[in-house]
Amino acid sequence: MKKIHHMTLGHPGSVRLCLLVLIVALSSGCAAFVRPAVKVKTLTPVEYITAKRGDILTTGELSAATDEAIRDAGLDDGACREPSPACISALAKADGLSDEERLLALSELWLQQAANAPRGARKGQANDARLGAWLEVARHAYAYLFFTERSPGERAFEDRQTQARDYYNLAVQEATVAIFARRVRGVSDFDDLGVMRLSKWAVHADLSGLAESEQAQVPRELVPAASMSFAGVRSVYRRDGFGAELVAVLDDPASDVSGKPSKQPDLNRKTLGPVWSQMPSPTVTVLIRFPGETLSDVLSTSELVVAAYDPFQNAQVGLHGQDVPLAANFTAGYGLWLARSGFSRQSLSSLFGSERGIDHPHLYLMQPYDPSKRIVLMVHGLASSPEAWVNVANELMGDEELRKNFQVWQFYYPTNMPIALNHEAIRQTLGDAMQHLDPHGEDPASRGMVLVGHSMGGVIARLMVSSSTGTLWDRLVGEKVHDEARLERLRSKVGHILQFDPVPQVDRVVFVAAPHRGTDLAGSGLGHWIGRMVRMPLTTLTQFADVMVDLTAVSGSNGSRTAIPTSIENLDKADPFVQAAADLPISPDVRYHSIIGQRKSESPLTSSDDGVVPYWSSHLDGAVSEKVVHAGHSVQETPQAVVELKRILREDIGERAAAVATQQQGSSAAGISTFSTTPVQN
C-alpha cells in the first residue's frame, strides 16, 4: 500500500491533473476550495436585538426590512443609492413586493425625508415639505395597519407592526403640532365650512372625543408628552396604543393675565361663585384619519381628519372594523401644570399675607368632569398647595382600576386664614361646583365622595364630615357674649361659619398626619415666632373688623393675640377652636381612616410624633383602619402611604360592588327590575 501511494503521488500525470483541477476551480470563481462561502459571527443579545429591531428611529439607519424591500425591488444600486424622493417614487411603483412590505418601507423612507427636511418658521416651502413628509409617514403607516390583507390582530406579535405604530404616532405628533402652529400664526386658510387648507391637504377637525368644556377652548400651546422629562415625580404613567400623546395648555381661569390669582374677597357671601376650574393642561390623544374604504382611496386622498380624544374618557376607538387601544399619558399634563404653577412660592406668599398670595380657595379638577366616576377630593395643609399631592395624585391617576372608578379633585386655599373661614369657603366652593355640574344630584359623582386631608387639611376634612350641633357657636361665642345686640351682630356675621352639618356627598375620609387636637409646636417659641409673621389678607381684616372689635371687647384681649386667630394659632393645642372642633361628632354614615407618620420608629407609639404632629393628636378612636408609617410630617408622599390609600380605595370599590350585587339579588328574588349605580368603566 505504501508503494502504490508513493507511485500515485509521484506520477507526473497525477500532478498535472491536480493542477488542472485547481486552475479550473479558481478561474470559475469557486472560492470554496480556498475559504468558506459563509462565515458565522457570534452576536451578543444587544447586537441581535439591534439588528432585528433597529430602524431609522432607533439607530438612524433604515431597518433591515426596508433595506430588503429596496434590494428585492432592484433599487439599491439605482434610485435608492441615496435617500431621495426619487427612491420613494420608484419603490411605490416597483413590482415583486407585497402591500405590507411596500407600505411600511415607504413609511420609513418618508420618515427619513421628514427627519432630514430643514426647519424654520421663515422657510415656508421647507416647512410645507416637512409637514407633507410627516403626513405621508402617517398615511402609509395607517394604510399598512388597516388596509392590507392581514388585520392588526393577526400581526400582533410582529416587531414590524410595532414599528408601524411608532412611525404613525410620531408622525401624528409632529404633524399636529405643525398644523396647530400654523393655525395660531394665521398662516393657513379656512374655507366657508371651517376646513383648513394646507398646500394640497384639506384638514378637518373632530373634537367629539373631548369633553364639551375642552371643545370650546383653543389651546395656547400644544406640547408633546414625549418631549418632557420630570424631576420630582416618581413614575410616569402611560398606556401604549394608537395616537400621539399631547398636552393642551389652556388659559387658567384661576389666574389673570399677570399670572396672579384673581381676587374674590367676600368670604361672607352665601355663594362664592364659580371659583373652580379644570386643571389647565389636560392630556389629549390625537389621531389622524385618512378617509377612504380601500387602499387606493387612502393613498390618493388629499383630505385628512385630525381627531382629539380625552384619554381618561376613551380607552379605545373603533377604526375600520377594529377596536384600537388609544395611547395615553396620565402624568404629563399634571406634571406640566405643577411645574409651571409657581405654587411653592405662592403658598408661602399667602401664608405671610403678601400681595402675591391668594385670599380664597380654588377647586381644581384634574380632568374634565365625569358624571360616572366618584370623586377623590384632596385638601392640603399649612403653607402648602396641590404640590403636596404630586405623587399621590399621579399614582392614583396612573392606576387603571382606580382611574376607571374615581376622578381626582384638589383644593388650593390660603393657609393664613383661620380654619373656620377656610372651612366655610371650601364648603361653599364645593357646593357651588356640584350644583353647577350636577344640579339635580343624580350623577354617581355626587355620591360616595372620598375626602383626603393632610395636616391642617385633615382638620378641615373632619369639620366637613361633622355636625357642629351648636357646640362651636356656644363655646366660642354664645357662652362669652351676654350683650344681646352684640350677640346678634356676631350671629349675622359669623353664625353660619360656626353652624354646619356633614357634607352629604362625602361618605369616606382619609386623615393624613392630621392634628385633630392641635400640636405642641404651634404653641412653642418657634410657633409663636412664625405666627407673628403670618398675616391675614387685608380684605378679610376689613370685612371682619367689627367682629374683632366685639370679640376683643368680650375676651379682654391685651393685643398680644387677635380676637380672630390665624391658622397657626388655630393649631395650638390650647386654642379654643381646635379644642371645640375635636369634640364634634363625625357623621355615623362616614367611614374614616388614619395614616400617621412616626419620625422615630424606636419611640413608643403613644408618645411618638412625625416632627410636627404628636400621635395623641392624629389618632382617632373609631377609625376603620390606622396605618403608621416611619416618616416625617410629609408622610402622604411616601410609597407606603400611597399604597395604603390605594388599598382603602380598592376596598371601597369592592364594598360598593358587593352591596350592589346583594341589592340586585334581593330585588331579583322579589321580581323587581334593578339597575346599577356603579360608574361606567371605560
Q: Where are the domains of the chain?
A: 52-185, 343-663
Across 74-83, 214-223, 239-248, 598-607, which has the greatest mean pLDDT? 239-248
Tell me which of 40 and 199 has the higher pLDDT: 40
For 25-34, 41-50, 100-109, 601-610, which range has the lowest pLDDT when averaged over its residues?
25-34
C-alpha cell at 291: 378617509
Which residue reads 384632596 in cell numbers? 378
- Distance from C-alpha of 315 to C-alpha of 312, rounded to nearest angstrom: 7
Q: Which DSSP category does 315 fall into? A: S
pLDDT for res 358: 80
297 or 575, which is more confident? 297
Q: What is the pLDDT of residue 536?
A: 55
Distance CA 536, CA 318 (A): 55
Number of Cβ within a 10 Å radius of residue 62: 21
Asked if the model's pLDDT at residue 235 lies above 50, the reply is yes
At residue 535, the pLDDT reads 55
Write down the residue that cell numbers 376603620 correspond to: 624
pLDDT above 70: percentage of residues in the chain: 79
DSSP 3-state assignment of 595? strand
Task: Count the alpha carbons within 13 Å of 456 in the hemisphere toward its beta carbon.
Answer: 27
Task: Determine the pLDDT at residue 122.
Answer: 52
φ, ψ of residue 208 in degrees (nearest 5): -65, -20
Across residues 575-583, what is the average pLDDT? Answer: 91
Q: pLDDT band at 529, cuts 50/70/90?
A: very low
Q: Which helix (H) or strand (E) holds 674?
A: none
Residue 185 has φ and ψ, to the nearest 5°, of -80, -10
Cell numbers linked to 674: 334593578
Dump pLDDT digits (tens) for 430-463: 999 999 999 999 999 999 999 999 999 999 999 9
Q: What is the pTM of this model?
A: 0.85
- 99-116 vs 64-72: helix crossing angle, rounded to 10: 110
Q: Are 382 and 455 in contact (CB under 8 A)?
A: yes
> What does residue 304 show for φ and ψ, rounded to 5 degrees?
-150, 155
* pLDDT value for 489: 78
Residue pLDDT, tens place only, 318-335:
999 999 999 999 999 999
What's the pLDDT at 559?
A: 43
Write the CA distances from 568 to 156, 354, 425, 482, 532, integer angstroms: 60, 16, 18, 29, 9
- Confidence class for position 6, pLDDT limits 50, 70, 90: very low
**Residue 7, pLDDT above cutoff 50:** no
- Per-residue pLDDT at 661: 85
Q: What is the pLDDT of residue 365?
A: 96
- Superfamily for domain range 343-663: Alpha/Beta hydrolase fold, catalytic domain (3.40.50.1820)
Instruction: Give yes or no for residue 1 having a pLDDT over 50.
Output: no
pLDDT surpassing 80 at residue 637? yes
Q: Which residue has the cell 400617621?
A: 596
Q: Is the pLDDT of residue 121 over 80?
A: no
Nearest one of 663, 356, 367, 376 to 508, comparing CA atoms: 376
Grid coordinates belonging to 259:
399670572
Residue 492: pLDDT band (50, 70, 90) is: confident
Q: Beta partners for 309?
A: 209, 285
Burial label for 680, CB within 10 Å (0-12, 13-18, 19+), is exposed
pLDDT score of 679 more than 50: no
Contact between 416 and 567 (Cβ < 8 Å): yes
Instruction: Please give the angle made by the CA atoms of 482, 488 and 493, to the nearest 5 degrees.
Output: 125
DSSP state of 27: H
Structure-block grid coordinates of residue 42: 457570534
Confidence of residue 267 (pLDDT cuts 50, 70, 90): very low
Phi and psi angles of residue 200, each rounded to the nearest 5 degrees, phi first: -85, -5
Residues 483, 551 contacting (CB under 8 angstroms): no
Give the per-residue pLDDT at 480. 77
Q: What is the pLDDT of residue 185?
A: 75
SS3 456: helix
pLDDT, tens digit, 9 for 90 and up, residues 339-383: 999 888 887 766 666 667 787 899 999 999 999 999 999 999 998
**Structure confidence by residue, pLDDT tens digits, 51-62:** 788 999 999 999
Grid cell 356633614 — which residue? 502
Which of these ranges, 16-25, 139-148, 225-234, 560-569, has the smallest mean pLDDT? 16-25
